[in-house]
Amino acid sequence: MLKAPDHQVAGHQAHAGKLGPLVDDSGRFYKPLQSDERGTKEAAFYSSFSSNSKIPTAIRRFFPTYHGTQLLEASDGSGMHLHLVLQDIVSNRLDPSVMDIKMGSRTWYPQASEDYIMKCLKKDRESTSVPLGFRISGLQTYESEKLGYWKPDKKVVQDFTLEDVKSTLKRFVSSNPSSNAEPDCLLASIIYGGSDGILAQLLELKAWFEDQTIYQFYSCSVLMVYEKAGVGEEGFRSRSGAEVKLVDFAHVMDGEGVIDHNFLGGLCSLIKFLSDILVSSTNRSKAEGDLKEQPEEIENDAKA
């Protein structure tokens, strides 16, 4: 049984009779090939990547598994349509929190048409891509059974400023994302931090990007995924499943012996934001820990 994905936060969606991706209950994600050259290019990328022996095994985990292409009834009812068959990244997750971050301060590439370049440049300048080296394309973060997900509207996300991005990266790992109060970043140490948290994974990706000259990943996204289920319970760390994946390869170019400094620059910028959040949340918990340990001294100081 194919259906529209429950946890898609960006891109074309298969709702209301439109063409969009589908998922089945075996953990596969069917992405319709875009009819222009983008579709062909994305299929070519997956095919090249999955057979390229120069990709380190440790790096493959950051890419969805590719199962070829398949003709399927399109979600818009327009008949049979070729789909990429990919791993459904959130298939085995309960209440996944997901953020889609489009990487690079430049989403255009020199070989593109002048129209396309100008269209991308406009979007890059109007969004945080130019100043920050990335922009948030969409997100949802699970708040509670009662409140469900915090999922800002697409239009709101499009207009994110630098301050909105900072705040959203905090809210994404807070127990109170939808609140007007300061985000508490309670999950930062578990989701962003830790030996296999988001930051550790991004740093692994960064080391590869400092060296690889095989591909240039224009307009590609970093997905950050985790599960809040079980927060506060023993063993949560292992069950949060904080995970980084790269998606959207319709504009991947040959590296031609040059590193992807555009993606890498944005990645370093994202890493710096997450590190800062982690450091300040760690400092805060430490300060709070100190407060709890030495309440009398603090009180005495206050009286002195």
Instruction: Name the site residues for a second copy (rule: CB under 8 A).
Output: 105-106, 110, 121, 125, 130-133, 162, 166, 210-211, 213, 256-259, 261-262, 264-266, 268-269, 271-272
Closest CB to a second copy among residues 159, 288: 159
Q: Nearest distance from residue 273's CB to a second copy, in Å?
A: 8
Closest CB to a second copy among residues 82, 271: 271
Q: How far is CA 97 from CA 9, 48, 186, 203, 243, in A?
A: 10, 30, 14, 21, 10
Residue 41: phi, psi to the nearest 5? -65, -40
Closest CB to a second copy among residues 66, 218: 218
Q: Nearest distance from residue 175's CB to a second copy, in Å?
A: 25
**b vs e for 261-293, b when ≥16 Cβ sit within 10 Å of the residue's Cβ?**
ebbbbbbebbbebbeebbeebeeeeeeeeeeee
Closest CB to a second copy among residues 74, 220: 220
Q: Nearest distance from residue 186's CB to a second copy, in Å?
A: 23
Q: Nearest distance from residue 71's CB to a second copy, in Å?
A: 37
Among 57, 51, 50, 58, residue whose Cα is nearest residue 86: 50
Closest CB to a second copy among residues 10, 264: 264
Among 133, 138, 83, 120, residue whose Cα is nearest residue 251: 120
Nearby residues of 5 by Cβ (< 8 Å), 6 or more positions away:
14, 21, 22, 23, 29, 88, 90
Q: Nearest distance from residue 288's CB to a second copy, in Å?
A: 24
Q: Nearest distance from residue 251's CB to a second copy, in Å?
A: 15
Based on its alpha-carbon atoms, the radius of gyration of the chain, rounded to whole angstroms, reads 21
* 134-144 β-sheet, strand order: 148-150, 134-144, 96-103, 221-227, 243-247
Closest CB to a second copy among residues 20, 266: 266
